[in-house]
C-alpha cells in the first residue's frame, strides 16, 4: 500500500464509528441546514464529553460586524490581567459549529500553552454568505484588541488561529489586518485549513473515500458559503490567491489523510517564499478534524502540545 494511505492504528476505531454513522444517515447534501447543524452538535458533543478541568472558563460576548458574537475564554492560570492571548475560530465548513465544537481541544491547548484563549462564535452561512463570516471575524478581532484590558489580555501579545474553515477565516483576517496597516498580531496558529477553493491538488482525490471529509463535501460547503463560483478565487475566500507578504509567523498543521492536506503544504511553501517564518507540522495517518479526538488519539495530543509550544514561544 502506498505510504500516503498509512492509517494511525489509534485512528481506526474512530474511522469505523464514522463509517457506521455515515451509512445510517441520509447524505449531507440531502439534509436541511438546521438538521445538519443538529447532527454536527451531536457529533461534537460526543467528542467533547470528558473535557479536562481548567482554572478559568467563562462565556462572554464581543462586538462583531452584525451585533454581539458569543465568545468563550479559556485560561489555565485563572483570572488574571495582561495575559498573552489567542483569538480562535472553530471549524465547520462555514456552515456548522459553535463554541462547544472544539471545547476539549481548546482546554488542552490552554493547559499546554499557558495562553488565554478567546474562542469566537462568528455568523454562519447560508444565512450569512461570504464575505459576512469573514467580516464578523475581522470585527471581532478588532473588538477583542480594543477591549483587551477588560478581557484580561495584553493587547500587544495576541495571536490568531482556527481549524479548517476557522483556519481559512483566521488567515484571511490576518491578511485584512495587514492591508489595514495593522501589524499587532504576533502569530498565526492554523490547523488543517481550506485555503484554495479552486484547487485540484492531488490530496483532493487521494483521500476522497474512506477518510471522513470528501471533496464532494467541500464542494457542498463552498456552494452554501459563496454567492457563486466566481468567488472561488477571491483572495478573501481563497487566501492562497492573496498577497501573503508581511504576515505574522505561523504554525501550519496538516492531517496526512485529509483532502485539504495539500492546501496546507501549498500555504507553507508560499509563506516561505514570501519570507514569513513558519513551522510546518504534518501528522501522518490521521484524518481531517483529528485534533478533536485527543481523548483517544495520541497524535492529536502531540499536535496540540507542539502547537502550544509554538504559541508560547511566540507570545510569552
Q: Which residues are catalytic?
A: 164, 258, 288
Distance CA 149, CA 200 (A): 45
What single string gives the DSSP state of each residue in 155-166? EEEEEEEEETHH
User: DSSP 3-state assignment of 45?
Assistant: helix
Asked if 255 and 287 touch (Cβ cutoff 8 Å), the reply is yes
Q: What does residue 137 show for φ and ψ, rounded to 5 degrees?
A: -65, -45
Instruction: For residue 161, give the nearest of 89, 266, 98 by alpha carbon.
Output: 89
Q: What does residue 54 show for φ and ψ, rounded to 5 degrees?
A: -140, 145
Q: Take residue 220 and report the three cell numbers written for it.
A: 457542498
Asked if 215 and 204 touch (Cβ cutoff 8 Å), the reply is yes
Strand partners, 160: 87, 188
Q: Over the Cα atoms of the chain, what is R_g?
A: 18
Q: State the helix-helix crossing angle for 165-179 and 132-146, rounded to 10 degrees.
A: 60
Q: Take residue 275 and report the three cell numbers written for it.
A: 519570507
127 burial via Cβ count (<10 Å: 0-12, 13-18, 19+): exposed
Asked if 66 and 123 touch (Cβ cutoff 8 Å), the reply is yes
Instruction: For residue 143, give the nearest of 132, 131, 155, 159 by alpha carbon.
Output: 155
Amino acid at each position: 500500500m502506498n505510504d500516503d494511505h498509512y492509517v494511525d492504528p489509534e485512528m481506526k476505531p474512530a474511522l469505523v464509528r464514522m463509517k457506521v454513522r455515515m451509512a445510517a444517515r441520509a447524505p449531507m447534501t440531502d439534509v436541511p441546514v438546521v438538521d445538519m447543524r443538529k447532527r454536527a452538535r451531536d457529533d461534537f458533543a460526543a467528542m467533547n464529553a470528558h473535557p479536562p478541568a481548567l482554572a478559568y472558563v467563562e462565556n462572554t460576548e464581543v462586538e462583531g460586524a452584525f451585533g454581539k458574537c458569543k465568545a468563550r475564554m479559556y485560561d489555565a492560570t485563572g483570572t488574571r490581567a495582561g495575559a498573552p492571548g489567542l483569538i480562535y475560530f472553530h471549524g465547520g465548513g462555514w456552515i456548522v459549529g459553535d463554541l462547544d465544537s472544539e471545547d476539549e481541544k481548546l482546554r488542552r491547548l490552554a493547559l499546554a500553552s499557558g495562553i488565554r484563549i478567546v474562542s469566537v462564535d462568528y455568523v454562519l452561512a447560508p444565512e450569512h454568505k461570504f464575505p459576512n463570516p469573514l467580516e464578523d471575524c475581522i470585527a471581532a478581532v478588532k473588538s477583542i484588541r480594543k477591549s483587551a484590558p477588560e478581557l484580561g489580555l495584553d493587547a500587544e501579545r495576541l495571536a490568531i488561529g482556527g481549524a479548517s474553515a476557522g483556519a481559512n477565516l483566521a488567515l484571511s483576517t490576518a491578511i485584512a489586518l495587514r492591508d489595514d496597516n495593522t501589524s499587532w498580531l504576533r502569530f498565526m496558529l492554523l490547523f488543517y485549513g481550506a485555503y484554495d477553493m479552486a484547487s485540484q491538488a492531488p490530496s483532493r482525490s487521494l483521500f476522497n473515500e474512506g477518510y471522513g471529509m470528501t471533496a464532494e463535501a467541500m464542494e457542498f460547503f463552498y456552494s452554501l458559503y459563496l454567492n457563486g463560483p466566481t468567488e472561488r478565487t477571491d483572495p478573501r475566500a481563497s487566501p492562497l490567491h492573496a498577497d501573503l507578504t508581511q504576515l505574522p509567523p505561523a504554525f501550519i498543521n496538516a492531517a496526512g489523510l485529509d483532502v485539504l492536506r495539500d492546501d496546507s503544504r501549498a500555504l507553507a511553501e508560499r509563506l516561505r517564499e514570501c519570507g514569513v517564518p513558519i513551522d510546518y507540522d504534518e501528522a501522518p495517518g490521521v484524518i481531517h478534524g483529528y485534533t478533536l479526538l485527543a481523548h483517544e488519539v495520541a497524535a492529536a495530543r502531540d499536535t496540540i502540545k507542539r502547537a502550544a509550544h509554538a504559541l508560547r514561544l511566540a507570545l510569552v
